[in-house]
Amino acid sequence: PSGIVFSASRNSLFVVDDEGGICELRMDGTLLKKGRIHKTDLEGITLNPATGMLYAIDERADAILEIHPEKLAVLRRLPLEITPAIRLPGNKDNRGFEAITFVADPDDASDGIFFLASQGWSARQPAAVFNTTAPLSTFVADQPVQISRSFKPGISDLSGLHFDSASGWLLLISDEHNTLLLTTTGGAVQASYALPGENQEGITLDAAGHLYVAEDTGNIIKYSFPAMP
């Protein structure tokens, strides 16, 4: 697994991998269904709670894929406009976009924007979190989506990202440093914790606030305590 997200409406987990695999699991880990989106490198997955639609980041193509949760089929492909200021090496050395999360519009829950995390590849180019300008309602298939701003949380690697709507904070994880960071959407670090395990690639919270971490060694870890302070 390289990404994971909880669906409250379906009471299930969706998981992706970097070879285009996608599956839906019951909360006890039982497989419900699986599919594959060919010629993709899926590094993270999120959803819009109001519509249930899934959104995965394809590192190979620098694009967001809108995926139907029942059919596990791509409905829209939303390429990201990568400017020289935010140029990522991408798939050639596995340092492109690694994570995605959805933030709903407070005035219209069916609409919103995405935050994306990059892995970072040097001390001069550390990991960063970006957000898009265009809400879902203005996305046009195959038209570039602009990235409006970014912040650097001061860590050289990011591998997972999740927005907690209850607190309004972002949860960021680093598999290189085995760390969980809690930040505002503007980038102010609120807390940091040592994160057990290894190769942590995906992160989500369920309805009770329990933390799930997907490790690319094959494990999905559920923590039995509420993750947010």
Mean per-residue pLDDT for 87-102? 67
Report the alpha-carbon angle 7-81-63, nearest 5: 35
Q: Which of 32-46, 120-134, 171-185, 204-218 has the lowest mean pLDDT?
A: 120-134
d(CA 191, CA 157): 17
Tell me the C-alpha distance between 43 and 200, whole Å. Answer: 12
Mean pLDDT is lowest, of 46-60, 87-101, 185-199, for: 87-101
Q: Span 207-229, mean pLDDT?
A: 88
Report d(CA 125, CA 119) in Å as an integer: 10
Looking at 45-54, 97-106, 112-121, 167-176, which range is the least confident one? 112-121
Q: What's the average model confidence in pLDDT over 1-12?
A: 97
pTM assigned to the model: 0.93
Query: How far lies 5's CA from each of 122, 182, 228, in Å?
Result: 29, 17, 17
Given the structure tokens 């299930």, which residue do they identify?
12
pLDDT attached to residue 87: 53
CB atoms within 10 A of CB 59: 25
> What does the alpha-carbon distance between residue 51 and residue 107 come to, in Å, rounded to a whole number?
15
